[in-house]
Structure 1
């Protein structure tokens, strides 16, 4: 069944008409007093590759950075020309002042909704491309946030040769803050082991995306999804078709674990098992869950964010009355 065919002229007309409509008010644009602790960025690798700083002095300042690497190998790495070259290229892509401001704003928004939140210490570093597929790590025990800058050197960077293209699409400097936000959102939203149906997974991720909206009210939606602009536009244009597919295929309340791999896990595209697969946007189940949660808030805008996160997925689904309109 060809359910994702879009007539280009009709789509352009819809976009044109939509652009003439008044933008709905963003309920997440709130006045946030910058009560979060001041964010300071520490570039560990800047000191690591600085031969003027004695190794013992560096180790005393960052005792956890060496890990299980021997002193001999650690010393060699400090002078490795290729590693230094990669670090300098990566560092040149990052506007630290801009990143500091955006992280400060992010943490202030998190604290607005969750007053117990404390801004983490933020460390930038280079893994020399060893951690680029998972470049952000949060140590909750020490409240330390680590950002591997070699994971954000830009889509198509020569250093990423051989890496799956779908990974590269979210490896740009503008992806750093949305990915940091996602890590904190995921730590707030809890999953119940008793709720493993597809709708539970979809709404769980929808809740995470609602936190992304609240934490990043001025960030483009496509960046929150780790999409390109084109991937986001495809998801929006096909929202109704996607939902019809889920309904007609009886997937909503299904419990086949393969549905997560098909529609939620990272990948180059979503797996509808139709001729459109290669053109589809990945993780479309997350996008759908986001739209369901948005529909809920449109009907119940007075709902407190913390209260919403406690709601059962089925309750959210039923009360959202989600019926996407055809483009």
Structure 2
């Protein structure tokens, strides 16, 4: 399918298809989510490491916040603690880093919106997984070294990555199709998708394209279940027109996978071609967004849960990708 046809189809269905799409629908969080008590504390580490930093203050901060210090600095290749302290002092006193910090302070004067969205996200996870332990949340200015760290007990947000798209400070050598996802709208959905890996049971011996599609499909399904009011584009990282275009051409996209017998292909280059980061999936169309296999996997997992009346936990526990596909009854819309 050529560029013109793909784009035109998206426009023709944009009005009639919105009611069927998962995006942009009026939505309120389930009352069962909102009834779960939740208070998230965000510790702003950038203030501690950039404001009037001295060696004594640096040592104090490293010792007071050992969890943060470990995940943030232990993998930076320092030979010993003395070298680490010396280098960190130089980094955070650097005029360029100081300027970046000041800009972050201006654009993120408060984190009330992020805090509220994280609380709603954790409520959603708690509803499905009462045993889920709320991780500690920190922010930092990393000099575009680390965007997000998401572990079971700790989350670190590199706020400099989430400055406005037109800001003069931007990550270096980051492709535009990826850079456009670095904004506050994508932030919490990205964190939730990362957290989903804790619950996403997977058969690691299955190296097929289908298994990779289902893995990502379960991740996105998890995020949408936890954040039901979040538009799809902020979960998968597509633009609205790309989602509309993909739904409009779902039959053609699916036909490409079937005709080329791709589902059970184990060639890592083929797997990456359809699920790895890319600006588009040229094998289908120059207008087909990249990672289209992940999007298809999401639709398959949605159908699997709906057609089998399963809970989110049951979906995430199923590690057999072929079983999910076979029982999904998936057909293009």
Superposed pair shares fold, TM > 0.5: yes
Give 1:86 shift: 1.0
**Where do 5+ consecutive residues of structure 2 fail to align?**
none
The structure 2 residue matched to 1:170, chosen from 175, 178, 181, is: 181
Partners of 2:53 and 2:93 within 8 A in 1: no
The structure 1 residue matched to 2:163, chosen from 130, 153, 158, is: 153
The structure 1 residue matched to 2:267, chosen from 256, 276, 295, is: 256
Report the RMSD for the aligned CA atoms in angstroms: 2.8
Residues 285/57 of structure 1: CA separation in 2 closer, same or farther (3 Å cut)? same
Give 1:43 shift: 0.7
Which residue matches 2:149?
137
Residues 30/210 of structure 1: CA separation in 2 closer, same or farther (3 Å cut)? farther
The secondary structure found in structure 2 opposite 1:158 is: coil
Q: Which aligned pairs between 1:263-278 and structure 2 lie closer than 5 A?
A: 263-272=274-283, 276-277=285-286
The secondary structure found in structure 2 opposite 1:145 is: strand
Does 2:314 correspond to 1:307?
yes
Which residue matches 1:194?
205
Give 1:26 shift: 8.1
| Farther-moved stretch of structure 1 (66-75 vs 115-124) | 66-75
| Farther-moved stretch of structure 1 (222-231 vs 110-119) | 222-231
Does 2:87 correspond to 1:80?
no
Residues 254/22 of structure 1: CA separation in 2 closer, same or farther (3 Å cut)? closer
Distance in 2 between residues matched to 1:56 and 1:11, nearest whole Å: 56
Give 1:37 shift: 4.6
Deviations 1:150-201 (A, max 9, x none): 1212335433353211220111121110111011012211321222222121
Give 1:271 shift: 4.2
Which residue matches 2:329?
321
Which residue matches 2:63?
60
Give the TM-score normalised by structure 1: 0.86
Does 2:289 correspond to 1:290?
no
Give 1:269 shift: 1.9
Give the TM-score normalised by structure 2: 0.84
Partners of 1:37 and 1:119 within 8 A in 2: no
Distance in 1 between residues matched to 2:6 and 2:275, nearest whole Å: 27
Greater relative contact order (CA < 8 Å, ≥ 6 in sequence): 2
Does 2:116 correspond to 1:107?
no
| Farther-moved stretch of structure 1 (314-323 vs 156-165) | 156-165
Give 1:287 shift: 0.2
Does 2:295 correspond to 1:281?
no
Give 1:313 shift: 1.6
| Farther-moved stretch of structure 1 (200-209 vs 30-39) | 30-39
Distance in 1 between residues matched to 2:241 and 2:104, nearest whole Å: 26
Residues 66/196 of structure 1: CA separation in 2 closer, same or farther (3 Å cut)? closer
The structure 1 residue matched to 2:107, chosen from 93, 111, 114, is: 93
Which residue matches 1:123?
138
| Farther-moved stretch of structure 1 (244-253 vs 52-61) | 52-61
Distance in 2 between residues matched to 1:139 and 1:8, nearest whole Å: 39
Residues 137/27 of structure 1: CA separation in 2 closer, same or farther (3 Å cut)? same
Give 1:72 shift: 2.8
| Farther-moved stretch of structure 1 (60-69 vs 229-238) | 60-69
Distance in 1 between residues matched to 2:38 and 2:18, nearest whole Å: 39
Which residue matches 2:234?
223
**Where do 5+ consecutive residues of structure 1 fail to align?**
none
The secondary structure found in structure 2 opposite 1:122 is: strand
Distance in 1 between residues matched to 2:264 and 2:20, nearest whole Å: 35
